[in-house]
Amino acid sequence: MVDEENPTTEARKRDHIDVVLGKDVGAKGITTGFERFAFEHCALPGLSLDDIDLSTEIFSRTLRAPFLISSMTGGAEPARDINLKLAGAAQALGIAMGLGSQRAGIERPELADTYRVRSVAPDILLFANLGAVQLNYGYGIDEARRAVDMIEADALILHLNPLQEAVQSGGDRDWRGLLSKIESIAGALPVPLVVKEVGNGISGAVAKTLIDAGVAAIDVAGAGGTSWSEVEAHRQSDPIVQRVAHSFAGWGIPTSLALSDVVRAAPGVPVFASGGLRSGIDAAKAIRLGASLCGAAAPVLGSATDTAEAVFDTMSVFIEELRIACFCTGSSDLAALRTAPLRRTVDGAFVGESTA
């Protein structure tokens, strides 16, 4: 529930961790859509499984596998340990990581250490993070640079969360004029700017306006995974507000549809797939549909409350599943996987031709 006596950003961050770990906050009545696709199995791959190359390059950084531990937390004391475990696993696996919104660290500098992970992850591709709507509430290029400098980030994510803000107690509801402010940040920031949703998806049309404004990459963060309206519903004490928030548990663009639309709308631009990816097989389908990087958050958060080794094991499963998906489609690397036959299915049966 919302801490009515201490409705601070820090208290909200604590609530979010507790709710995501302890409540059923998955989307209701909507899926990612990845279950509607299946690869054509290759019974004679002609490859050595051990030789399959999963490496990729994003923003001039080489990753050993195309995975991103998506932005989750920071700004509350429990987040410090979680972030260090996540980052340690990312370093060991050679994958990317994003931090949670750094507003708390900017408002209260003593909380900045809850975001800092370079001590255990000096080499990873690391994403800073701020809420885009904060640009309408006094934030600008100075705060964006502070977020990047705070964690020695390689890029900055501005996240879009209009539904979450609409159902959140004290949420930020004025979204007028944000595009021009995002454009100003993109033009002045010394690192690439990424824009992502938080679980309701980005359409092709919105992605195109963002790319035209100078955004370097899009993370679609589609529907079918964690529902942040459900998270906020569980934080509410007012039953009317709870009811409204629960009504939107099935709202959004399924991740697979958002991904396909954004890839078509923004050819040549890195597009990240997140929102309900639950396996390396989902990641393989996302890559085939055009994703440059695949993000996972909720599947990793639970293991991060245990040990760094648990996080390592969780992400290692994703990586091995992706490797075997490449092997069983005859794909020696990610470039080959992007042309592997992927078919739409109905009730488990192939229908139609291979996707474009």
Q: Is the pLDDT reported for residue 189 higher than 50?
A: yes
pLDDT tens column, 201-221 = 999 999 999 999 999 999 999
pLDDT tens column, 136-146 = 999 999 999 99
Q: Is the pLDDT reported for residue 262 higher than 80?
A: yes
SS3 255: helix
Cβ–Cβ < 8 Å for 25, 225: no
Give alpha helix (H) positions in 98-171: 103-107, 141-151, 162-167
Residue 353: per-residue pLDDT:
59
pLDDT tens column, 32-65 = 999 999 999 999 999 999 999 999 999 999 999 9
Residues 6+ apart with CB under 8 A from 22: none
Cβ–Cβ < 8 Å for 197, 221: yes
Closest among 277, 266, 271 to 291, alpha carbons compared: 271
pLDDT tens column, 301-348 = 888 888 889 999 999 999 999 999 999 999 999 999 999 999 999 877
Q: Which residue has the tokens 């309701």?
A: 200
**Section 222-229 average pLDDT:** 96
Closest among 325, 267, 258 to 66, alpha carbons compared: 325
Walk across the sheet containing 37-39 and list its strands: 37-39, 342-346, 349-354
SS3 269: coil
pLDDT tens column, 12-26 = 667 777 788 778 999
Rounded to the nearest integer, the mean pLDDT of the chain is: 93
Answer with the residue of higher pLDDT: 11 or 88. Answer: 88
Q: Is the pLDDT reported for residue 4 higher than 80?
A: no
Q: What stretch of H or E contains 134?
A: none
| Domains assigned to the chain | 16-38+59-310 (3.20.20.70)
Q: Which residue has the tokens 């396909």?
A: 260
SS3 131: strand
SS3 165: helix
Largest CA distance in the chain: 64
Residue 72: per-residue pLDDT:
86
Answer with the residue of higher pLDDT: 299 or 99. Answer: 99
Residues 6+ apart with CB under 8 A from 192: 59, 154, 155, 156, 216, 217
Residue 38: per-residue pLDDT:
97
Residue 13: per-residue pLDDT:
67
CA–CA distance, 243 with 231 (Å, rounded to integer): 12
For the chain, report the end-to-end CA distance as a whole number of angstroms. Answer: 46
Q: What stretch of H or E contains 48?
A: none
Cβ–Cβ < 8 Å for 336, 327: no
What predicted TM-score, i.e. pTM, was given to this entire model?
A: 0.94
pLDDT tens column, 113-136 = 999 999 999 999 999 999 999 999
pLDDT tens column, 263-273 = 999 999 999 99
Confidence grade of residue 8 (pLDDT, cut at 50, 70, 90): low
SS3 244: helix
Report the percent of the chain where pLDDT is more than 90: 84
Which phi and psi angles does 125 have, rounded to 5°? -75, 115
